[in-house]
Amino acid sequence: MEVLQTNITYLKGVGPERAKLLEEELGIKTFNDLLHHFPFRYIDRTQFNTIAELPEIYQQPVQLKGVITGLNVSGNGRKKALKAVFKDATGSIELVWFKGIKWIMDSLKTNQVYEIYGKVQRYGGVWNMAHPEMEKAEARKITRQFQPVYHSTEKLTKKGLHSKGIEKLLQQLLIDVIGKIPESLSQEILATNKLLGINQAMKQIHLPEHLEEAKRARFRLKFEELFFLQLELLIRKNLRTKPEQGLPMPKVGEVFNTFYEYHLPFELTNAQKRVVKEVFQDMKRGIHMNRLIQGDVGSGKTLVALLNMLIAVGNGYQTALLAPTEILAQQHFETINAMLEPLNLKVALLTGSVKGKVRRLLFEALQNGEVHILIGTHAIIEPKVMFQNLGLAVIDEQHRFGVAQRASLWKKNSRPPHVLVMTATPIPRTLAMSFYGDLDVSVIDELPPGRKPINTVHYFEKSRIKVFAFMKEQIALGRQVYVVYPLIEESSVLDYQNLMSGFEAIQRAFPPPQFHVSIVHGKMKAEDKDFEMQRFVKGETHIMVATTVIEVGVNVPNASVMVIESAEKFGLSQLHQLRGRVGRGAEQSYCILMTGDKISKEGKRRLQTMVQTNDGFKIAEVDLEIRGPGDIMGTQQSGLLQLSIANLATDGPIISLARDAARKLLEIDERLTENKHFPLKHKLQSIIKNKPNWSKIS
């Protein structure tokens, strides 16, 4: 057995009790697990701060060198504390202990030079440090300039396994295993990417001589982690893109040509043309397409999807378009139906509200192939919905759908239909590579001509009168206005009350007959929502008061003002989506972010970002910084990858390198059958065994 698989109990310094705690608290069971418990930072033991500097480095841990000039115990019982005066050449602070008082008092010596480490606080006009780490200056052999700092827990600390205790264990472990850790990357990969060998890397990450060494070690270990992730994703992709895996759609077809030549409502942007082609390239190659289209709100994804659906129809297949909400499905149905009017195709709508006989007839029409294009909600995924020959399924606003839902579409035909997913929630490229590593990505990076950037401002509640006056001005110019309230949870009574009282206030400020106000929210029946939506679309109402049910996809080009109430409660991507509901016509559009006076630091950052930029990719990057990648992908995907050292948000360049290396390897040895690649294959298999979640990414 490999030495690394040895149970941690057998490490010198770890008995059964500590072993149990290590497993419970940090999941460390074997030598290998402990080896992968990496330091999260290093302390430079040769750098000292001075007491005079403290006001500038408040709340950071500091390292000081000085003497203790006085000790005294104060208080009684639980309030008992030991205090010491600690001085360096620039001033003095107080050291405080609440525990182990007797022992510490006996061991401390006055007029002895100590090096102390800890966080300082200012309390009652005095700087103090509670429970400092301390050592006699001359007693400390400076064996290492950089001391690693490890995560620990309260329970572990009680058993002596604070950062320093863990450091000790690792020093012992390194003595036992260095030189025996099997290399998991091939010589070629190490050489091409200038990576440290695994033994060297492990030594340097735990015991660096200087920070440069630690950095190189981290690079190697991150690379390895990302490399195996990309390798797995690419292997799966290779399987999928084998010739004969996909439904053949060799020609553009008559349907597409007729529509494109005679009925296209506007000239496509270059980006739209390019993406339509990229998708068609996949469809005609005989491979199984699994492609993501990323395009900012308003970039015209619907039309791109439709054009590719027409190609599929021209090749004799049925197609489906899935939207996350009924409102959006309904809207897609209407616009597409209108555009295709002259083509004599059968377009149908399937949502939860299509019931009874209509539903039954629709199911029949799907099975006997009468319906060419089915538009709908999640309802389409249900197993009962069967097609005669589904060739292409498009998922709009895909981040609203789960991975499993997407996968179930594959079963709708004997050979899986091509899948096209679309999103306006821009995902930084390198993140897409990991979460959608198995997908090909097309980007619509251009907006239709004539769009003016939306003017975004932030107002506090006290400016409400001004905002209402502005809304009136815009309505007088013939425009329409959205006012959106947060309804974070559909069931939240408070949010709902806010919405209703907001609605009443607006009705009072905008009375009939001059003004008409609509309202749409999740508690309304589908047909009522639809009715109100239609009134707004037709321009019969001037203001649409709504919850985030209108967040995605809704398209009313005449609406030029988006007022977002309690904007501090929304996340960045939601704000960006909401803002994307305006700026769709030729008129100058506005987004007004209304907030109360109290806003968190993050909230402020979000609002500032919105005011500063309209660029969805920039917004996504800030979002990634604020929230971290797991959160961005939604709860369904978070924690999926369980990475131990790499960070998908910040390690973009390493992800690219790792992906290239994985791709090159598979080009030479697609199934990893060559002898020299056996260690790679072995390692990949053992990783996958430990990370069953990986199989859910696609």
Interface contacts to Mg ion, rule CB under 5 A: 553
Least distance in Å: CB of 675 to ligand ADP?
50
Contact predicate 21/28, CB 8 Å: no
* Closest to ligand ADP by CB, 372 or 576: 576
Checking phi first, is residue 214 left (phi over 0); if not, alpha (psi -120 to 50) or beta?
A: alpha
In this structure, the number of other CB atoms found within 10 A of the CB of residue 267 comes to 10
Q: Can residue 314 be called a binding residue for ligand ADP (CB under 6 A)? A: no
Dump strand ranges (E) for 532-601. Answer: 543-546, 559-564, 590-595
Print the binding letters for residues 277-296 with ligand ADP: x by CB under 6 A, - otherwise. Answer: ------------------x-
The CA distances from residue 169 to 37, 141, 199, 436, in Å, are 11, 19, 17, 39
Residue choice 91, 448, 628, 679 for contact with ligand ADP (CB under 6 A): 448
In this structure, the number of other CB atoms found within 10 A of the CB of residue 288 comes to 22
* Closest to ligand ADP by CB, 299 or 474: 299
Residue choice 49, 128, 299, 574 for contact with ligand ADP (CB under 6 A): 299
Residue choice 30, 269, 589, 609 for contact with ligand ADP (CB under 6 A): 269
When CB distances are held under 5 to 8 angstroms depending on the partner's kind, the choice from Mg ion, ligand ADP, none that residue 566 binds is none
Distance from C-alpha of 110 to C-alpha of 105, rounded to nearest angstrom? 10
Least distance in Å: CB of 334 to Mg ion?
14
Least distance in Å: CB of 183 to ligand ADP?
47
Least distance in Å: CB of 339 to ligand ADP?
9
Residue choice 39, 132, 148, 300 for contact with ligand ADP (CB under 6 A): 300
What is the CA angle 476-478-480, rounded to 5? 100
The DSSP 8-state label assigned to residue 262 in this structure reads I
Q: Can residue 54 be called a binding residue for ligand ADP (CB under 6 A)? A: no
Q: Can residue 303 be called a binding residue for ligand ADP (CB under 6 A)? A: yes
* Closest to Mg ion by CB, 39 or 553: 553
Q: How many residues interact with ligand ADP (rule CB under 6 A)? A: 19
Least distance in Å: CB of 543 to ligand ADP?
20
Q: Can residue 698 be called a binding residue for ligand ADP (CB under 6 A)? A: no
Closest C-alpha to 523, from 495, 551, 504: 495
Neighbour-count burial for 396-424, b at 16+ CB within 10 Å, e otherwise: bbbbbbbbebbeebeebbeebbbbbbbbb
Least distance in Å: CB of 453 to ligand ADP?
15
Q: Starting from the edge strand earliest in sequence, which strands make up the sheet with 347-350, in order? A: 347-350, 373-376, 318-322, 390-395, 418-423, 290-295, 440-444
Least distance in Å: CB of 550 to ligand ADP?
13
* Closest to Mg ion by CB, 93 or 328: 328
Q: Can residue 533 be called a binding residue for ligand ADP (CB under 6 A)? A: no
Least distance in Å: CB of 554 to ligand ADP?
8
The CA distances from residue 416 to 324, 602, 697, in Å, are 22, 44, 17
Least distance in Å: CB of 452 to ligand ADP?
14
> Which span sits near ligand ADP by CB under 6 A: 1-9, 232-240, 314-322, 550-558?
550-558
* Closest to Mg ion by CB, 426 or 553: 553
Q: Can residue 273 be called a binding residue for ligand ADP (CB under 6 A)? A: no
* Closest to Mg ion by CB, 542 or 581: 581
Torsion angle of C-alpha atoms 136, 141, 145, 149, degrees rounded to 10 = -60
Contact predicate 605/622, CB 8 Å: yes
Least distance in Å: CB of 558 to ligand ADP?
11
* Closest to ligand ADP by CB, 301 or 479: 301
Residue choice 298, 416, 417, 583 for contact with ligand ADP (CB under 6 A): 298
* Closest to ligand ADP by CB, 486 or 583: 583
Half-sphere exposure of 522 (CA within 13 A, CB side): 17
When CB distances are held under 5 to 8 angstroms depending on the partner's kind, the choice from Mg ion, ligand ADP, none that residue 193 binds is none
Structure tokens at 568: 């501090």
3-class SS string, 454-519: CEEEEEEHHHHHHHHHHHHHHHHCCCEEEEECCCCCCCCHHHHHHHHHHHHHHHHHCCCCCCCEEE
The DSSP 8-state label assigned to residue 641 in this structure reads S
- End-to-end, the C-alpha distance of the chain in Å comes to 35
Residue choice 157, 389, 555, 588 for contact with ligand ADP (CB under 6 A): 555
Q: Can residue 322 be called a binding residue for ligand ADP (CB under 6 A)? A: no
When CB distances are held under 5 to 8 angstroms depending on the partner's kind, the choice from ligand ADP, Mg ion, none that residue 417 binds is none
* Closest to ligand ADP by CB, 287 or 292: 292
> Which span sits near ligand ADP by CB under 6 A: 148-156, 262-270, 510-518, 563-571?
262-270
Residue 167's Cα: distance from chain center in Å?
A: 33
Distance from C-alpha of 17 to C-alpha of 20, rounded to nearest angstrom? 5
Q: Can residue 302 be called a binding residue for ligand ADP (CB under 6 A)? A: yes
φ, ψ at 426 (rounded to 5°) = -70, 135
Least distance in Å: CB of 500 to ligand ADP?
30
When CB distances are held under 5 to 8 angstroms depending on the partner's kind, the choice from Mg ion, ligand ADP, none that residue 555 binds is ligand ADP
> Which span sits near ligand ADP by CB under 6 A: 122-130, 385-393, 549-557, 566-574?
549-557
**Residues of span 116-155 touching ligand ADP by CB under 6 A:** none
Closest C-alpha to 542, from 483, 628, 590: 483
Residue 128's Cα: distance from chain center in Å?
A: 40
| Residue 34 parent element (H or E) | helix 31-35
Distance from C-alpha of 229 to C-alpha of 683, rounded to nearest angstrom? 11
Residue in the shown chain whose Cβ atom is closest to Mg ion: 553
* Closest to ligand ADP by CB, 178 or 343: 343
Least distance in Å: CB of 585 to ligand ADP?
8
Q: Can residue 584 be called a binding residue for ligand ADP (CB under 6 A)? A: yes
Dump strand ranges (E) for 16-112. Answer: 41-44, 61-74, 81-88, 91-97
Closest C-alpha to 653, from 642, 661, 664, 665: 661
Look-up of token digits 């064996």: 143
Least distance in Å: CB of 396 to Mg ion?
6
When CB distances are held under 5 to 8 angstroms depending on the partner's kind, the choice from ligand ADP, Mg ion, none that residue 297 binds is ligand ADP
Residue in the shown chain whose Cβ atom is closest to ligand ADP: 300
Closest C-alpha to 73, from 111, 101, 93, 99: 101
Structure tokens at 519: 């309202």
Q: Can residue 297 be called a binding residue for ligand ADP (CB under 6 A)? A: yes
* Closest to Mg ion by CB, 18 or 581: 581
Site of interaction with ligand ADP (CB under 6 A) = 266-269, 272, 295, 297-303, 424, 448, 553, 555, 557, 584
